[in-house]
Amino acid sequence: MEHRLYSLAKYPLKLTWHENKTTYLTVRKEKSVLHLRLHRLFFHAPTPILEALLLYAAKRDREAGVKIKQMAHLYFSSLVLEPSLMNSQGKVYNLQEILDRMQVFMPIKVENISIGWSKRSRVGSFRSITYGTFNRCTREICIHPILDQSEVPLYFLEFIVYHELLHAIYPSKMDGKGKCQIHSKEFKEQEELFPRFKLAKEWEKKSLEFFKRGQKHGRS
């Protein structure tokens, strides 16, 4: 692959490979040499992608950038990882029971999904809280433990689990401009079918202030 890339380049080039998925492409120009730091996902890339890499590195070409992002998105979404061990039974709520109930409201049955409480307990500066995440590689739903308290309405926790289940059905997509669409039109339409959608969204709006007060009074 390196030989192909060097042969396509019209300028001095130096390559470095890495496996850090947060920065799959870094470009630095030093004197007349262009330094490319590439994720190994590009190691067996077809010629059009290699040409896009070189074009983007040299001119920050927008269309080339879209092609690169699309390949990276496809690569990372296809990875299969070993699932981690998570506990679904909390002090108040059992996430597995909630997950099983929410399956009834899904347009299709979501197979091979595990769910558990995250090990994190801090909520930072309270500017925002990520209540749940879905990992497509391990097919895990991870819920923030701050929701495992009796003061949190059951319908709100059910909504969070419902929302994350939808991510298993409606994956994020790259549009023609290279922008990642996390919540598609179909996703949002299905989300609004949650039985207590409006009530859950109303509680979500005031939840940040609720958890702020709880932190001040020693709740977690």
Q: Is the pLDDT of residue 23 over 80?
A: no
Question: What pLDDT, in 10s, does the model give residues 143-170?
Answer: 999 999 999 999 999 999 999 999 999 9
Domain assignment present for 84: no
In a domain, 34, yes or no: yes
Helix/strand/coil for 13: strand
> 107 and 59 in one domain?
no
Domain hosting residue 192, numbered range: 95-218
Does residue 209 sit in the same domain as residue 130? Answer: yes
Domain annotation covers residue 83: no
Q: What is the pTM of this model?
A: 0.63
Whole-number Å distance between alpha carbons of 118 and 141: 9
Please tell me which of 117-121, 138-142, 216-220 the model is most confident about, judged by mean pLDDT: 138-142
Shared-domain flag, residues 66 and 140: no
Residues 4, 48, single domain; the answer is: yes
Domain termination residue (choose one: 78, 109, 139):
78
The pLDDT tens digits for 166-200 are 999 998 776 665 556 778 889 999 999 999 999 99
* Domain total in the chain: 2
Asked if 99 and 74 sit in the same domain, the reply is no
User: Is residue 62 within a helix (H) or strand (E), and if so which, with residue range?
Assistant: helix 62-77
**Do residue 6 and residue 67 come from a single domain?**
yes
**pLDDT surpassing 90 at residue 117:** yes
Whether residues 73 and 137 share a domain: the answer is no
Whether 85 is covered by a domain: the verdict is: no
Say which CATH number the domain at 129 has.
3.30.2010.10
Q: Does 159 reside within a domain?
A: yes
